[in-house]
Structure 1
Amino acid sequence: MNQPVLTASSPAAPRRGLPQLVVPVMFSQRAYLLIALAISLVFGMIALPTGVLPRSYATPSEALLLCLNAVLIFEIQFWLHFLLRYRPSAVQRWFARQSLLVDRGLRALLTALLVTGYSLGRHYLDARLGIAFNQPSMPLLLTLAQIVSIVGLSCQLGIELVERSRYLAQEVETLKREQLQARYESLKQQLSPHFLFNSLSTLSGLIYDEPAAAERFVNEMAQVYRYLLRHGEQMAVPLHEELAFVRSYAYLLQMRFGEGLEVHVDLPPEVLDRPLPPLALQLLVENAVKHNTVSRRQPLAITISLASADQLRVCNPRYPRLSPEASSGTGLSNLTTRIRLLHQQRLLVEQTDHEFCVLLPLPASLS
């Protein structure tokens, strides 16, 4: 069986010039339209006294017309945002690919043009129909149109802020559940019972033939389980402590496989204090041994090095076993979850016919 492949890329942060981090729509189309209608009616009720009270006389029809005009001028703005954000279309997908600055700027421009066009159309239509309202001057009309468009856009951004809050609350709950699940899985998979059984079998063969080697074997085994007790449930450990643990773990494996297994570490001193999840490297070493043939004629050489300034690479050649061990396939998945909780990034797997590599985020500090 090949080593399980789990590929993912790091999520891009919302920055200028890059696609925005799109928050999924949290309101249904019906709910959004009802919210928009309620907001429009509120502004219609606000516009009613401001349009009627300054006049010495206003008929019920005029009062109703003023209220409907205010409702309509906000409704057309919400319908524009509905089409651009809530109605699936090529235009909506295009807007989603733009940066946050471009998205907000274009929507503000379209809203201003729409409200200005409506206001001018309404102004000339009232004049043509002879509706005797106190018509403002053209500069004042254009100014009022921009104020109304700003108010409408602010209401829309408020709706999206509520959506973002609900989305983030759901994300927090999801991360909490994943964290609990990751810790549970980590406890279950710290070291397989097969490893303990094989280690004890190796030790029994050393006790009489090589007492000195048996003593070191016991010391290294104690280091492995001491590390598990001390760091097994922590979120992060310094890289140098994980490497010390992996060296002890690899020694126990090498006493079993002899020259068939090699572990090479090539890391600069300045990265040794950086954090990563405990047992991350041990899991990758264990996976390499589990899924590949280990023999003296064809040594399995595992290399731990830097892929970039903030990325760790663990590679091994691929020598697939003829009779693969049973595997649940949850090891890399569990490690991915722990890395996402720790660094808000994902591991990346690179696999060819001859090599299997896992790239782990190794930032200078916790995110």
Structure 2
Amino acid sequence: MNQPVPPSMSSLAAPRLGLPQAVVPVMFSQRAYLLIALAISLVFGLIALPTGVLPRNYATLGEATLLCINAILVFQIQFWLHFLLRYHPSAVQRWFARQSLLTDRGLRALLTAVLVTSYSLGRYYLDASLGINLDKPSITLLLTLAQVVSIVGLSCQVGIELVERSRYLASEIELLRHEQLQARYESLKQQLSPHFLFNSLSTLGGLIYDEPAAAERFVNEMAQVYRYLLRHGEQMTVPLHEELAFVRSYAYLLQMRFGEGLELHIDLPAEVLDRPLPPLALQLLVENAVKHNTVSRRHPLVISIDLAGADQLRVSNPRHPRLSPVASSGTGLSNLTNRIRLLNQQQLLVEQTDHAFCVLLPLPASIL
């Protein structure tokens, strides 16, 4: 049986503040966005009426209507461009979504300016050919007004995206609260786990009379495990060196139960030991490896913790699936994935083959 990989892990976006466009995620539906765009366009159309009609000695109803419609159209074409580049699923939309925020905004500003300028020039010459005798500015003034209108339209679009950003942050905060509560619940379950406690006490009972010295160390390591759970179980992050000390104590308790069937290898440079990561992250991965694999002297389970890159921690083990698979919902890994994503806007990755299971944890220098 495969070690469980929650479906969300393969589908989670990995927003990185300051880089991908996902920092301003799409929160409005297509229909909602188009209604907002239409409302803004109508407002500017109404604004255009007095600014275009009052300075003149006289104006017909047709001229006033034409001014209003023109203002609506010039903003509508801008919003439709943003709709196609940001909200409407297509190859172009997906390409823009992969770009940096600066590139995305810059390209959209350029395309908006070109589109508004083209529309203004086209309407200018169309009015002339149709004999529409509205007051016409010079070409230079027309081009200047086109750029002003494109800047106003882009500012409205940025405002819409800021509202989306605000809604996204509110939902992320709510999700973070939920994940914190879930993490506390999982931590509490681990602290009170009857299986872990029963197995530990059974192992201790066998050591007390046969190996008193080993029993004393076992009690000390068990105390370290529960002290860590009580002290750090509800924190957002802990230094890597503290998590490693905890995992060593936790692994020792398991090794006293499984003997030579379980090994823990840690190979990490000193310069990364102060980096932050979620508490109980490594313990969860060690627990999962033991839970879903055969642990025996014949098939030793070797769990390795090392670096896969400068900012990536690797936890790996060979796969020796149990003959009787253990049912699992994948809640632990899914919970860890979300905690990491909310902490540093990065993603936990899982690599699995027929013979090996590997989890890659982001290990940033600091939490965003």
- 1:263 and 2:261 equivalent? no
Q: 279-288 or 28-37: which moved more?
A: 28-37
Which letter does structure 2 place at the counterpart of 1:163?
E
- The match for 1:275 is 276
- The match for 1:166 is 167
- The match for 2:360 is 359
In structure 1, stretches of 5+ residues that fail to align are none
- The match for 1:189 is 190
- The TM-score, its normalising length taken from structure 1, stands at 0.87
- In 2: Cα distance, 1:238 partner to 1:253 partner: 23
Q: 60-69 or 135-144: which moved more?
A: 60-69
- In 1: Cα distance, 2:215 partner to 2:327 partner: 30
Which letter does structure 2 place at the counterpart of 1:178?
E
Which letter does structure 1 place at the counterpart of 2:297?
R
- In 2: Cα distance, 1:157 partner to 1:268 partner: 44
Which letter does structure 2 place at the counterpart of 1:13?
R
Structure 1 residue matching 2:303: 3-state secondary structure: strand
Q: 1:10/1:243 Cα in 2 relative to 1: closer, same or farther (>3 Å)?
A: farther
- The match for 1:13 is 16
Cα drift, residue 243 of structure 1: 2.0
Cα drift, residue 130 of structure 1: 3.5
How many pairs were matched up?
365
Q: 86-95 or 69-78: which moved more?
A: 86-95
In structure 2, stretches of 5+ residues that fail to align are none
Q: 357-366 or 111-120: which moved more?
A: 111-120
Point out 4+ residue stretches in structure 1 off by more than 6 angstroms: none
Which letter does structure 1 place at the counterpart of 2:215?
A
- In 2: Cα distance, 1:10 partner to 1:296 partner: 41
Cα drift, residue 94 of structure 1: 4.1
- The match for 1:85 is 86
- The match for 1:146 is 147
Which letter does structure 2 place at the counterpart of 1:147?
V
Q: 1:44/1:221 Cα in 2 relative to 1: closer, same or farther (>3 Å)?
A: closer
Cα drift, residue 47 of structure 1: 2.3
- The TM-score, its normalising length taken from structure 2, stands at 0.87
- In 2: Cα distance, 1:328 partner to 1:137 partner: 69
Q: Is the 8 A contact 1:350 1:358 kept in 2?
A: yes
Cα drift, residue 61 of structure 1: 3.4
Cα drift, residue 326 of structure 1: 4.3
> What is the root-mean-square deviation of aligned Cα atoms in Å?
2.8
Q: 1:239/1:191 Cα in 2 relative to 1: closer, same or farther (>3 Å)?
A: farther
Which letter does structure 1 place at the counterpart of 2:50?
P
Q: Is the 8 A contact 2:5 2:330 kept in 1?
A: no
* Matches for 1:155-304 after TM superposition, within 5 Å: 155-190=156-191, 192-304=193-305
- The match for 1:3 is 3
User: Could you tell me the percent identity over the aligned residues?
Assistant: 84
Structure 1 residue matching 2:299: 3-state secondary structure: coil
Cα drift, residue 207 of structure 1: 2.0
- The match for 2:134 is 133
Structure 2 residue matching 1:163: 3-state secondary structure: helix
Q: 1:130/1:90 Cα in 2 relative to 1: closer, same or farther (>3 Å)?
A: same
- In 2: Cα distance, 1:111 partner to 1:193 partner: 63
Cα drift, residue 110 of structure 1: 3.3
- 1:345 and 2:346 equivalent? yes
